[in-house]
């Protein structure tokens, strides 16, 4: 299997499992990843997902060019039909954590950029190298990287194709945490389970407010956030949250 999937305590764990190929994605594993994101989106028992990869050498180097056949139709037809379905943020408002355990290069970095939280092992490396091979970071790299880190640094990475290490990625804000390799999944699980204990509708609304608000003028973003606050006001979970606080107990949220 190119992509492994398991569910535990409201958390989905997605593992790209082709370490012999730097966890690059061939057509089969791409199809599996698309199916997995559909499962995460549509399963009400899943509240958060963790995306990682097998081994410690690579998170992903993007498309496996050796096993990806040349296209049989024009690019416009394929793009307008399929869009970019391997990217999680285009599928759902559930939070996604990228646990980056090695090289995140090209499409691998673009997949990480599509996640909401990015944590990495101390051995991780990051780059968009497409300009070195006469191509372009065409999934989301040219748009998401300058939104994740300062524009000047993003431009340097995109135009030069140079690679940075985990320490530098943490310094510029590309990732939130750096840990030793053997502690990466423990930290990912800790964050995922902490998110999963929160009210799922509130978590979804918070992600939507942030992601959509970034493309709005500030006053519009505040108005949209207030609208979502109003939508949540009468939910069963909000009442449960207040009651649990008053009774000094852990809330039991149901996503209703």
**Helix, strand or coil, per DSSP, at residue 12:** strand
SS3 content of the chain, % helix, strand, coil (to 5): 50, 15, 35
Of the candidates 20, 130, 162, 252, the residue annotated as catalytic is: 130
Contacts by 146-149, CB closer than 8 A, 24 or more apart: 147/214, 148/113, 148/173, 148/174, 149/173, 149/174
Phi-psi region of 55 (alpha: psi -120 to 50; beta: other; left: phi over 0): left
* CA separation for the pair 80, 64 (Å, rounded): 22
Active site residue 20: no
193 catalytic residue (yes or no) = no
| Phi, psi (deg, nearest 5) at residue 253 | -85, 145
183: region left, alpha or beta (phi > 0 left; psi from -120 to 50 alpha): alpha
Question: Looking up tokens 């999944």, which residue turns up?
Answer: 185
Tell me the C-alpha distance between 230 and 223, whole Å.
11
Q: Are 148 and 113 in contact (CB under 8 A)?
A: yes
**Of 110, 168, 193, 240, catalytic:** 110
Q: Which residues are catalytic?
A: 110, 130
């Amino acid at each position: 299997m190119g992509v492994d999937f398991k569910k535990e305590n409201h958390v989905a764990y997605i593992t790209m499992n082709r370490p012999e190929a730097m966890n690059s994605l061939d057509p089969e594993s791409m199809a599996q990843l698309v199916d997995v994101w559909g499962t995460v989106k549509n399963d009400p028992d899943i509240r958060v997902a963790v995306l990682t990869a097998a081994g410690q050498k690579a998170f992903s180097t993007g498309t496996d060019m050796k096993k990806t056949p040349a296209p049989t139709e024009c690019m416009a037809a394929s793009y307008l039909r399929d869009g970019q379905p391997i990217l999680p943020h285009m599928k759902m408002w559930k939070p996604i954590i990228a646990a980056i355990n090695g090289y995140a290069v090209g499409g691998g970095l673009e997949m990480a950029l599509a996640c909401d939280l990015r944590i990495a092992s101390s051995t991780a490396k990051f780059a968009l190298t497409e300009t070195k091979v006469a191509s372009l970071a065409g999934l989301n790299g040219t748009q998401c990287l300058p939104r994740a880190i300062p524009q000047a640094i993003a431009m340097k990475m995109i135009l030069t194709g140079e690679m940075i290490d985990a320490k530098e990625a943490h310094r510029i804000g590309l990732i939130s945490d750096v840990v030793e390799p053997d502690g990466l999944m423990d930290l990912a699980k800790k964050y995922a389970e902490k998110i999963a204990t929160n009210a799922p509708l509130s978590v979804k609304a918070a992600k939507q407010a942030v992601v959509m608000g970034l493309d709005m003028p500030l006053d519009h973003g505040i108005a949209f956030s207030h609208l979502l606050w109003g939508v949540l006001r009468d939910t069963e979970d909000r009442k449960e949250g207040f009651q649990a606080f008053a009774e000094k107990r852990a809330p039991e949220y149901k996503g209703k």
